[in-house]
Amino acid sequence: MAPSKIKNFFFKKRAEAKLKLGIAGPGRKLNSEAPPPPSKASSSKQKDAYIPPKRSELSAEAKAAANAALARFEGKDKKEFNTSLAAIRAQVRKELEAEKKSKEAGHSSEHETPEQDTAGETARQDYAVRGVFFRCPMIGDEILPYKEWKGRIREFLYEQLAADRGLTACLIIYNCNPKDKAEVCIETLAKCIENIVNNPSEEKYKKIRMTNRMFCDKIKVCEGSLDFLHAAGFVEIELDNEPHLIWSEDNIDPECSLEVLLEALKAAEPIPVELDRNLQVLLPSQVRRHNLPPDFFRISPEEIKREQQARTEALEQAQILKTKAMREREELRTINRYKFSLIRVRFPNGVYLQGTFSVYEKLGQVYEFVQSCLMHESAEFSLVSPGGLKFDHQEDLDKSLYDLRLVPTVVFNFTYENESKNLTEFLKEEMMLLIQSF
């Protein structure tokens, strides 16, 4: 099964390229197997943000809690199950009442703008979320930080070398080296293979001196490059007391050809990882945790601290009335510090739904995320900003969180619309039970 994942990766990339270019009909495949018959896909595009998304949006924690809730439901009577939910709702009401009294006493509980902790502490108790986590469906079902996935991807690729050397080497070059070095290596290797394909009778293209500066600086420095050359038919021998790579058609991997390897080399891309929503359901008291962990930031804590100090000094030196353009530039400088945005949705019953999004994801994806957690998925609803701005037009849904300035965090208020206004239930029961895990 594992080797097929490598081939499927390239099949998928080739299919995507054909769709982008609008190319129809059969094309050259990465192996000799007969292509499947083409299917006619509908060309209509659905832009309705309220189409239920796939359940894969739930995090592993959410799935575990839902399974535990189901097990309790099956193993006990319904009364005890409802009692658990009633206790949660009672706690929510209690906290809402306390919050109301606090506001009446003049102690505002509004959320502060989240700032990065620049003290260098690694274990902050007031982080709104523990970090940013990802999935990698090609490799496994685990949910891990991005750096851990990079290590897992490297291990996975090296495990596939024995079964799919040429295709796997292409992915190793792209995934296990700095991008600039990988691109130079791929360009150089492609030229070497093209020279052999286009000039089969020229012997000079079939020999590479391994002490050559070009070879050392552009090829040898990259992981996977020698594995690719070996799969392409090169073998290492010594000529005139110097190591050389000599090409022979007899040495090419039987599962591939030079044309296939050349195509795979050019089609290689990073193995994709998908952002996990890290779904959480929070009580009002838990929402007071507002600081964001370092994973949310594009720059280091030290750089953030220097930037804040420079901004403070500039304000002290020049207390001037800012123009609209100046305010917009300052706002952009602030949001450009973030890679991710923490979205919270406050429901009328006081419960909050929380999820992590890339700043370049569209607002429509936030709507899909919220809808997948609702008791009534088909109900119409809107998300309203703290300032009262309602985001419910298609034009808004097609914009990114960055474009809408919904970075680094925002708290929406949830409201049902039209025929759904009389509904009083919001999140699914398995979502409500996630509160117990905090």
Each residue's pLDDT tens digit, 327-368: 566 666 667 888 899 999 999 988 999 999 999 999 999 999
**Phi then psi for 402, rounded to 5 degrees?**
-65, -45
Q: Are residues 231 and 351 in the same domain?
A: no
- What 3-state class would DSSP assign to 254? coil
Q: What is the pLDDT of residue 158?
A: 93
Say whether pLDDT at 407 is over 60: yes
Q: Which comes out higher in pLDDT, residue 10 or 413?
A: 413
Q: Are residues 177 and 268 in the same domain?
A: yes
Q: What would the mean pLDDT of 417-429 be, rounded to a whole number? A: 91
Q: What is the pLDDT of residue 274?
A: 94
Beta-bridge mates of residue 134: 144, 275
Q: How confident is the model at residue 71 (pLDDT cuts 50, 70, 90)?
A: low
Q: Which comes out higher in pLDDT, residue 85 or 384?
A: 384
What is the Cα 164 distance to its own chain's centre?
Answer: 27
How far apart are the C-alpha atoms of 228 and 246, rounded to whole Å? Answer: 14
Q: What is the pLDDT of residue 189?
A: 95
Question: pTM above the 0.75 mark?
Answer: no
Least confident stretch, 250-259, 309-318, 330-339, 389-398:
309-318
Answer yes or no: is 415 within a domain.
Answer: yes
Q: What is the pLDDT of residue 225?
A: 95
The answer to whether 283 and 435 are in contact (CB under 8 A) is: yes
CATH code where residue 219 lies:
1.20.58.2190
Q: What is the pLDDT of residue 55?
A: 41
Answer yes or no: is 36 within a domain.
Answer: no
- Write down which residue in 257, 273, 289 finishes a domain: 273
Q: How confident is the model at residue 65 (pLDDT cuts 50, 70, 90)?
A: low
Structural domain total, the chain: 2
Q: What is the pLDDT of residue 373?
A: 94
- CA-based diameter of the chain, in Å? 90
Answer yes or no: is 340 within a domain.
Answer: yes
Give 77-125 pLDDT, tens digit per residue.
333 333 455 656 666 666 666 666 666 666 544 444 444 444 444 445 6
- Write down which residue in 229, 249, 273 finishes a domain: 273
Answer yes or no: is 18 within a domain.
Answer: no
Question: Which residue pairs, CB below 8 angstroms and at least 24 apart, start in 416-422?
Answer: 416/379, 416/380, 416/381, 417/380, 417/381, 417/382, 417/392, 418/380, 419/380, 420/376, 420/379, 420/380, 420/381
Mean of the per-residue pLDDT values for the chain? 76
The answer to whether 24 and 39 are in contact (CB under 8 A) is: no
Answer yes or no: is 51 within a domain.
Answer: no
The answer to whether 401 and 407 are in contact (CB under 8 A) is: yes
CATH code where residue 427 lies:
3.10.20.90
Q: Are residues 267 and 371 in the same domain?
A: no
Q: Are residues 264 and 151 in the same domain?
A: yes
Say whether pLDDT at 51 is over 50: no
Say whether pLDDT at 281 is over 60: yes
Q: Are residues 250 and 154 in the same domain?
A: yes
Q: What is the pLDDT of residue 255?
A: 76
Q: Are residues 154 and 231 in the same domain?
A: yes
Q: What would the mean pLDDT of 322-331 be, rounded to a whole number? A: 62
Answer yes or no: is 52 within a domain.
Answer: no
Residue among 152, 148, 157 at smallest CA distance from 140: 152
> Which two three-digit tokens encode residue 321?
């009335």
Answer yes or no: is 244 within a domain.
Answer: yes
Q: Are residues 339 and 420 in the same domain?
A: yes
Give 9-31 pLDDT, tens digit per residue.
777 766 665 555 454 444 444 44
Q: What is the pLDDT of residue 234?
A: 94
Structural domain of 385: 334-434
Least confident stretch, 61-70, 202-211, 395-404, 424-433:
61-70
- What 3-state class would DSSP assign to 209? strand
Give 197-208 pLDDT, tens digit per residue.
999 889 999 999
Q: What is the pLDDT of residue 426?
A: 93
Q: What is the pLDDT of residue 1?
A: 37
Q: What is the pLDDT of residue 41?
A: 37
